Structure formats: C-alpha cells, structure tokens
C-alpha cells in the first residue's frame, strides 16, 4: 500500500484494540485493513477521490472520513457505525468510511467477494427484506490496498 497522508484520530491503536473490536462485532477484519488501522488509525485522507463502477455508472466518489476504533468521536468509530447500519447494509459488509453526503464505504469480510471494497448509496436504500441485495451498492476496488492506491486529488 502506498504512503498516504491522513488527519489522524486520537491515539494509536494496538493489536489488542483491533482484536477486541473484531470480537465485539463477531468478524475478522481483512489483513490490509488491520495494517491500515495500526499505521494510520483512520482520518481524512488528503487524496479523497476514488473510482465508482456500476451497471451504467462509471464516475468518481469522494471520501470524507475513514473510520477507526475511536472512543473519542463516535461518529467515526467502526463499532458505532456497524450498529447504526446493522439491518441496512449487506450482512457481509464492514463500514470503513463515509462520503460527504452520508453514503458509506464498506469492505466485504466474508463470502466470494471478501476483501472487495464497495460504496453503499443511502439514497437507494432498500427495505430490510432485501438488505443483502447489491442494488444500491457500487464496486470500488478488489482490495483495501487497491482502494487506497486509487485515491487521487479531487478535480476542481
């Protein structure tokens, strides 16, 4: 993963913090995401634009914040956001960030697409009976590392 500058959130994380969060959520984070949390512990990257791919959509999205395990500011805490979006996003998704409009950046943590990064569009939110549908979900990258490497400056 390339070096990238972030505004850091709170104190550095330990491996124990990550293990505790995984235990609380009952999931295992992808290794590249764990490595990111240990090095950067969330924040707003200086490079914020990323590619979005969907049926007829090929455009760019923007990152507002990448979450962390953050007990200081719950708005940017992985665990709090997982509780907020439980029952709203596909069950194999871990919330890892958000765009300026409140749409969520997620990484799949199990299944055939484990490790892939997606954009969840809250404007197209579905009812709970079909929450595992990807109708309002757009592909970003095959891995967290590819996602980070795809970030560029926003065009003005």
Q: Please indicate whether residue 127 or residue 19 has the higher confidence score (pLDDT).
A: 19
pLDDT(48) > 70: yes
For residue 52, what is the domain's CATH number? 3.40.1580
Q: pTM to 2 decimals?
A: 0.89
pLDDT(42) > 90: no
Phi, psi (rounded to 5 degrees) for 82: -65, -40
The answer to whether residue 95 is domain-embedded is yes
**pLDDT tens across 100-135, in order?**
999 999 999 999 999 999 999 988 776 655 566 788
pLDDT(40) > 90: no
* pLDDT in the model for residue 63: 93
The answer to whether residue 13 is domain-embedded is no
Residue range(s) defining the domain that contains residue 82: 30-150
Q: Please indicate whether residue 59 or residue 54 has the higher confidence score (pLDDT).
A: 59
Q: Where are the alpha helices (DSSP H) in 26-111?
A: 31-39, 78-85
Residue 18's Cα: distance from chain center in Å?
15
* pLDDT in the model for residue 30: 93
Domain count, the chain: 1
Helix (H, G, I), strand (E, B) or coil at 51: strand
Band the pLDDT of 8: cuts 50, 70, 90: low
The answer to whether residue 78 is domain-embedded is yes
Candidates 49, 4, 44; CA nearest to 155 is 49
The answer to whether residue 155 is domain-embedded is no
Band the pLDDT of 33: cuts 50, 70, 90: very high
The answer to whether residue 15 is domain-embedded is no
């Amino acid at each position: 993963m390339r070096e990238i500058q972030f505004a850091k959130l709170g104190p550095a994380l330990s491996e124990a913090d990550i293990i505790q969060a995984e235990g609380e959520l009952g999931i295992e984070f992808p290794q590249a995401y764990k490595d990111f949390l240990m090095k950067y512990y969330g924040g707003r990257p200086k490079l914020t634009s990323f590619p979005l791919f969907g049926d007829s959509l090929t455009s760019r999205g923007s990152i507002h914040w990448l979450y962390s395990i953050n007990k200081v500011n719950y708005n940017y805490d992985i665990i709090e956001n997982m509780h907020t979006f439980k029952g709203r996003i596909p069950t194999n998704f871990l919330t890892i960030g958000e765009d300026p409009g409140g749409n969520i950046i997620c990484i799949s943590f199990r299944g055939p697409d484990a490790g892939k990064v997606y954009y969840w569009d809250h404007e197209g939110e579905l009812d709970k009976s079909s929450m595992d549908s990807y109708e309002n979900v757009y592909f970003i990258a095959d891995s967290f590392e590819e996602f980070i490497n795809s970030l560029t400056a926003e065009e003005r």
